[in-house]
């Protein structure tokens, strides 16, 4: 007898199913699919299902993250950028001992304003919320402007114009979206 080889056919013989014997224990848990099994009184019962929400009720607002945490992310990035750049500038100035161009000095001044505004805003917002928020926004504006000044310093004139147009359009979009609509 010659056995014919078929590449896509596999025959597997499984061992017979043997019912395993469980040891008797003090805590008997019924099998979840056994309809005759009754739950033990000593086992904790699941709470009854909660009633379904009404369809005419307004939906609950779901905020994925803590709003206060989200408000602190951008100022933290600006502070990190300012501190990193400040140490780099201090090291460069100590090494070269020369005067830097006006653009570089503007960048340093913007970072000073950004850091000062954000630090003052952090400590006055609890007692003076409106001025605190205003200083925080001013600090963010100075920080983002310093970032654009730093990034575009080495660009050609064409790339500088494109970058500053992106900056201006971003400010315009922020202004339009945050301006209260007329009543």
Per-residue HEC secondary structure of 32-90 comes to CCCCCCCCCCCCCCCCCCCCCCCCCCCCCCCCCCCHHHHHHHHHHHHHHHHHHHHHHHH
Q: Where are the domains of the chain?
A: 69-178
Q: What is the pLDDT of residue 135?
A: 93
pLDDT per position as a tens digit, 86-122: 778 777 777 877 777 888 888 889 889 998 998 899 8
Residue 160 pLDDT greater than 90, yes or no:
yes
pTM, two decimal places: 0.54
Task: Provide the pLDDT confidence category of residue 13 given band limits of 50, 70 and 90.
Answer: low
Residue 37 pLDDT greater than 60, yes or no:
no
The rounded distance, in Å, linking the Cα atoms of 63 and 44 is: 34
pLDDT per position as a tens digit, 121-156: 989 999 999 999 999 999 999 988 988 988 888 899
């Amino acid at each position: 007898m010659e056995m014919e080889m078929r590449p896509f056919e596999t025959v597997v013989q499984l061992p017979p199913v043997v019912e395993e014997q469980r040891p008797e224990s003090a805590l008997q848990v019924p099998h979840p699919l056994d309809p005759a099994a009754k739950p033990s009184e000593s086992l904790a019962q699941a709470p009854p299902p909660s009633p379904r929400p009404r369809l005419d009720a307004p939906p609950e607002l779901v905020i994925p993250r803590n709003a206060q945490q989200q408000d602190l992310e951008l100022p933290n990035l600006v502070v990190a950028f300012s501190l990193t750049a400040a140490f780099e500038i201090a090291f460069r100035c100590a090494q070269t001992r020369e005067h830097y161009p006006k653009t570089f000095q503007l960048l340093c001044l913007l970072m000073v304003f950004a850091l000062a505004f954000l630090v003052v805003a952090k400590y006055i917002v609890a007692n003076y919320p409106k001025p605190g928020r205003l200083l925080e926004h001013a600090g963010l504006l100075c920080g983002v402007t310093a970032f654009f000044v730093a990034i575009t310093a080495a660009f050609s004139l064409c790339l500088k114009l494109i970058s500053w147009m992106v900056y201006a359009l971003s400010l315009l979009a922020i202004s339009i979206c945050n301006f209260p609509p007329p009543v």
